[in-house]
Structure 1
């Protein structure tokens, strides 16, 4: 099976590879530079879901993949503050995309405030941690969980949710 992933991000690609390996599903993982067609910093579940769907559908239309996966990270506002949110979409020809969401954590106000002012999470986290490439490695989730859950692990969980739905054929016809 050929699986296109709508990203060049190392953490996202590692997540897909690990999920398929752990589930013992033979797959050739093909990264595709897919646009999300949402803002660089998605600011709601709805926008983040749309980003994941757009990435998956772009992959399906622009590759020879049997299955396409789009992964998108964003933030969502709640009465308790600003939370990380992460969504995935799995697309196959002629079927409505499957959707799954991941872990959420409350962001510290010093990070949330900068995001509300229009900055993107990746550069904010690089600045906060005094390192570069956080979004391709442990991600904000890794920083704020003391490495207990890293970005690839979080996305891997989402991919397993998507694969499980696919196996149970929980599709809605388009």
Structure 2
């Protein structure tokens, strides 16, 4: 089984490897950096979901892989509060599309303000935490859950949801 991953981001790649290897121990993985075809900072669940789908679909063009995985992080606003949102898509070689969403936590107002000004969450979080490239590690979700849920953990949950749907579909 060959699984394509639509990113080189370490947190996302780790999640795909960790969960997929549990169910497909002999799987072969290949990372391909593909564009989301949405804003560099998705600002809604709809846009973030579409980015994940776009990544997964692009992976499967002229591919013999079993499926492609697209993972996308974004934000959405509910009742004036900005939340982290995350989506995943699994697209099969026969063009079935499965999607799932993950955890969300509210962001501080000063971060939401910067997002509304057009900045991306990753670089904002680098300044906020005085680190470099936090999106490759714990991510904003890790910061705002005090390390209890990292970005990779969150995408692992999404991977479980995607693989569960995929495996169920093979039964019918």
TM bracket (short chain): over 0.9
1:115-156 CA-to-partner distances (Å, cap 9, x unmatched) read 011000010000000000100000000011111000001001
Q: Which residue is 2:97 aligned to?
A: 97
Q: Secondary structure at the match of 1:58?
A: helix
Cα-Cα RMSD: 1.5
Q: Post-superposition shift, 1:22?
A: 3.3
Retained in 2: the 8 A contact 1:4–1:63? no
Provide the C-alpha distance between the structure 2 equivalents of 1:118 and 1:59, rounded to a whole number of angstroms: 28
Matching of residue 5 in structure 1 with residue 5 in structure 2: yes
Corresponding residue pairs, total: 171
Indicate how the Cα distance of structure 1 residues 80 and 61 shifts in structure 2: closer, same or farther if over 3 A, else same.
same
Q: 5+ residue gaps in structure 1? A: none
Q: Which residue is 2:162 aligned to?
A: 162
Q: Which residue is 2:58 aligned to?
A: 58
Q: 5+ residue gaps in structure 2? A: none
1:35-59 CA-to-partner distances (Å, cap 9, x unmatched) read 1000000000000011000000111
- TM-score with structure 2 setting the length: 0.95
Q: Secondary structure at the match of 2:169?
A: coil
- TM-score with structure 1 setting the length: 0.94
Q: Which runs of 4+ in 1 moved over 4 A?
A: none
